[in-house]
Structure 1
Amino acid sequence: MACIVGGFCLPHVPLIAGAPDAVPVEKAKRVHAGFTHIRNSIERLNADAVIVVGDDHCAMFNPSCQPSILIGIGDLEGPIESWLHIPREPVPNHSELAEHIMSFGFESGFDWGVAKTLALDHSTVIPIHFAVPKGLPVVPIYISSGMEPFIRGKRCKQLGEMLGRAVSAWPGAERIVILGTGGISHWVGMADMGSVNEEFDRRILGLVNNNDVDALVSLTDREIIDHAGNGALEVRNWIVAMAALPQAIPRLILYEPVVEWITGLGFVELEVAA
């Protein structure tokens, strides 16, 4: 039986690749250390595949058709954004596991979009590039936490719970890690773009540290946007990862407010007891 052996909540800040020199060296080193910690932890966990939860930024899809939940089951490549200065190349996909999760989801009432080919944006490529060991296969899942109409926090919790059950029902012996990516505070294309709300970020990290998924679910769109910008809605990607590992012990790795990259960056490990 396969199992989820660990999880992480982490940023997918694109400017770490697109504008790496915009940040003071010591601050950048701390952020890179957060990604390195996760990569080393995934290696230590002997993971066979990684589920990566991200969200589109109008690079993969567009406002005329925005899937609420989507899974990639076939050929992957990325990043789709050339300005990231990361070479666009194939990304290994665990297609068999992805198809199992797809089918399990359908049977569980999740009528999600399915991509047989997918060009990934930075929300999954940045974590894959900086935090996933080279060559490890991934299963990308995209939710509409970045584009309207926004997915509900309650549905994100249900999605995470379903992913946990789906992995447990997979007949293989794979060891799976799940990543919830994005956030925390940032205003994308808004008047306050460039601001960081450290107080709100630490409030979110406190809820995560207490494993209080229901409190995260209860946060409304308006509350999040007013205090931390539209980009902070990506905390719902974190909800998916947390709900997939309800018994995990969250441990803060790093918090770094980086106004130069217009984002408050949080890194949390969801540790599974041995």
Structure 2
Amino acid sequence: MGSIVAAAATSHVVMDPANIPAQAGLVIDGFRRIAAEVARTQPDLLLYITSDHMVNLGYRLQPSFALGCADSYTPLGDMDIPRQPMAGAGVFADALLRHLDEVGFDLARAESLDPDHGIALPMRIINPGGRVPVAPLLVNINRTPPPSPARCYALGQAIGAYIRSAACTQRVAVIGAGGLSHWIATPGMGRVNADFDRQVLSLLGAGQAAQIATWSTDYILENAGNGGLEIMCWLAMAGTVAGATGHTLYYEPIASWYTGMGAMAMDLAAA
């Protein structure tokens, strides 16, 4: 039987630190604290839940969920991220995909992905050198309709149940990435809703992710912007350890980065 040995969520971008060195330092420190937890727990693989920025899944095809099943990934190289290959957890991903199909979740299989900054940037710190194999799970937040918060949370619960079943033998670290509030290429661009972000962090920290799962996508769009839909990735992560409380690693509303930046680690003893 497998186990989830670490679970965390983080914003997945770093921009120009000029004029905000203290805030930027907190962001980097958040990545490093997640990296330390991953190193401490020594997982066999990382399940990394995030969005794609219309690079691998564009206008022609946008499934609700897509799971990378490759044995290696080479980053796209956007934001000047080195194209250093990272190991893929293909065998685990294939087995997970088949199990999820049996329990009512039809995920697209991605045999090849070029991870953009949403994966590759945090992995530079959390998983240096790409040593721990990664299974990337992409959640559609770009095209209408995105999966509902309830569906994302339920998917996380199904993933957690599989990992803890006799069918899985791996030690898994689960990371949800993206968000928090931000409006991209819309009239609200540059706005950050710190009250919304802190509510998300508070509910997740209190083990009340199920309450976030009752929200509508329209509610999230109105209060956190189109980029704020990436909290679905946090919600799926929380579903894998449903009932666990957590603690905020940092929160900074960074206007010059157009984003409410934050990170959280789950306290798995409470799961």
* TM-score interval (norm. to shorter): over 0.9
- Calculate the TM-score normalised by the size of structure 1: 0.92
Structure 1 pair 75–62 and aligned structure 2 pair: CA distance change class (3 A): same
Matched residue of 1:62: which SS? coil
Greater CA drift, 169-178 or 235-244: 169-178
Task: Show structure 1 runs of 5+ residues with no match.
Answer: none
What residue identity is the alignment partner of 1:10?
Answer: T
1:53-90 CA-to-partner distances (Å, cap 9, x unmatched) read 0112212121221011111111443432x441111232
Judge conservation of contact 2:157–2:240 (CA < 8 Å) in 1.
Answer: yes
In the alignment, what sits opposite 1:272?
A: 268
Q: Could you tell me how far apart the structure 1 residues matched to 2:19 and 2:121 are?
A: 17
In the alignment, what sits opposite 2:84?
A: 89
What residue identity is the alignment partner of 1:269?
Answer: A
Judge conservation of contact 2:182–2:259 (CA < 8 Å) in 1.
Answer: yes
- Calculate the TM-score normalised by the size of structure 2: 0.93
In the alignment, what sits opposite 1:229?
A: 225
In the alignment, what sits opposite 2:12?
A: 12
Q: Could you tell me how far apart the structure 2 residues matched to 1:164 and 1:194 are?
A: 36
Matched residue of 1:119: which SS? coil
What residue identity is the alignment partner of 1:41?
Answer: E
How much has 1:205 moved relative to structure 2? 1.1
Judge conservation of contact 2:27–2:262 (CA < 8 Å) in 1.
Answer: no
In the alignment, what sits opposite 1:60?
A: 56
Identity of paired residues, percent?
A: 29
In the alignment, what sits opposite 1:117?
A: 112
How much has 1:190 moved relative to structure 2? 0.8
Greater CA drift, 207-216 or 125-134: 125-134
In the alignment, what sits opposite 1:3?
A: 3
In the alignment, what sits opposite 2:253?
A: 257
Matches within 5 A, 1:1-274: 1-13=1-13, 16=14, 19-22=15-18, 24-80=20-76, 82-134=77-129, 135-169=131-165, 171=167, 173-273=169-269
Judge conservation of contact 1:76–1:120 (CA < 8 Å) in 2.
Answer: no
Structure 1 pair 176–133 and aligned structure 2 pair: CA distance change class (3 A): farther
Task: Show structure 2 runs of 5+ residues with no match.
Answer: none
Structure 1 pair 170–57 and aligned structure 2 pair: CA distance change class (3 A): farther
**What is the Cα-based RMSD across aligned positions, in Å?**
1.7
Figure out how many residues of one structure are paired with residues of the other and give that number.
269
Judge conservation of contact 2:81–2:121 (CA < 8 Å) in 1.
Answer: no
What residue identity is the alignment partner of 1:58?
Answer: M
What residue identity is the alignment partner of 2:145?
Answer: P
Greater CA drift, 130-139 or 91-100: 130-139
Q: Could you tell me how far apart the structure 1 residues matched to 2:30 and 2:55 are?
A: 26
1:110-131 CA-to-partner distances (Å, cap 9, x unmatched) read 1110011111122222221222
Judge conservation of contact 1:73–1:114 (CA < 8 Å) in 2.
Answer: yes
Judge conservation of contact 2:45–2:171 (CA < 8 Å) in 1.
Answer: yes
What residue identity is the alignment partner of 2:36?
Answer: N
1:118-165 CA-to-partner distances (Å, cap 9, x unmatched) read 111222222212223431111110111233221111111111011112
